[in-house]
Amino acid sequence: MDFTAIWLTLKLASATTLILALIGLPLAYWLAMSSWRGKFLVESVVALPLVLPPTVLGFYVLMATGPNSAFGSLYERVTGSLLPFSFPGILLGSILYNLPFAVRPFMAAFAGMNRRLIEASWCLGESRWRTFWRVTMPLCWPGVLTGLVLTFAHTVGEFGVVLMVGGNIPGVTRTISISIYDDVQALNYASAGQTALGLVIFSLVVLCLAHVLGRRRLPL
């Protein structure tokens, strides 16, 4: 087994999950609560990675972050390095690709909440921010946790986007799924089989966990 790849994958999955919690929670809250008529556009963009081939998304991320692009050259000037074929590069691709896996469960949890509870808290003098932490989160955490677990698991198994944006650099961008691909290319079936089995078991455990967590709700 390729422990460098495992370590790198866990790092990528943790970072993706953390950042998606920071971006995804406010975005999902806004999508669930807003009555803005154009929000279906945002919802569709968020859901896009569900139907788009990872190679397509990867291709656009590559184009958008390359040294000839506006964003890519700005990034190069600020950090002195390039995004493609680097860890920050695959992190960016992975965040975009996992957006629906985080935002959609968050949104479902927020949308299923009784709005009166939030309004009651406002009328009791609590700010929107404090209401979120005192009422919304305690009642929505099963859904939020499900989103985080799914995001983590999905990042661990990611292949297309990482390959397009990051290529195959050991210790930098070669994740577990790419190391399996490498092993098969090199006819090293024993090693590929081990890693693949490990990934299957891991995914199964995570999905079971997500189900159990999703079911834990307060009696209302």
Partner 1 sequence: MSEELIADLEKRFPRGPVIRGALRLPADRFQITVLFGPSGCGKTTVLRSLAGLERPEAGRIEFRGRAWFDASIRSFLSPQERDVGFLFQDYALFPHLTVAQNVAYGLRHHSLAARSELVADILDRFQLGELKQRYPHQVSGGQQQRVALARVLVRRPSLLLLDEPLSALDASLRDELRRQLRRWLADYGIPVIVVTHDRIEAMTLADQIVVMDAGQVRQSGSVSDIFSRPRDLNVAQIVGMETVVAGEVVAVTNGLATVDVAGVRLTAVAPAPEVQRVHVCIKAEDVLLLRKAQTEMSVRNQIPAVVQWLSQEGPLVRVGLNGGFELSALVTRPACAELQIREGETVIVAIKAPSLHLIPRHEAP
Q: Which residues bind partner 1 (CB under 8 A)?
A: 114, 116-117, 119-127, 130, 134-135, 138-139, 218-220
Instruction: Decide whether 77 or 116 has the Cβ nearer to partner 1.
Output: 116
Q: How far is the CB of 110 from partner 1 (least distance, A)?
A: 15
Least Å from the CB of residue 13 to partner 1: 30
- The 10 Å Cβ neighbour count of residue 5 is 21
The nearer residue to partner 1, 9 or 131, going by C-beta atoms, is 131
Instruction: Pick the closest to residue 109 from 163, 32, 46, 171 (CA basis).
Output: 32
Instruction: Please report how many Cα atoms fall inside a 13 Å half-sphere around the Cα of residue 50, on the Cβ side.
Output: 11
> How far apart are CB 133 and partner 1 at their closest, in Å?
12
Specify the residue, 30 or 159, whose C-beta has the smaller distance to partner 1: 30
Nearer to partner 1, 113 or 184 (CB): 113
134 Cβ contact partners less than 8 Å away, ≥ 6 residues apart = 121, 126
Shortest distance (Å) from residue 141 CB to partner 1: 10
Residue 51 Cβ vs partner 1, minimum distance, rounded to whole Å? 30
Cα first-last separation, the chain: 47
Query: Which CB sits closer to partner 1, 105 or 142?
Result: 142
Cβ at position 125, least distance to partner 1 in Å:
5
Nearer to partner 1, 38 or 125 (CB): 125
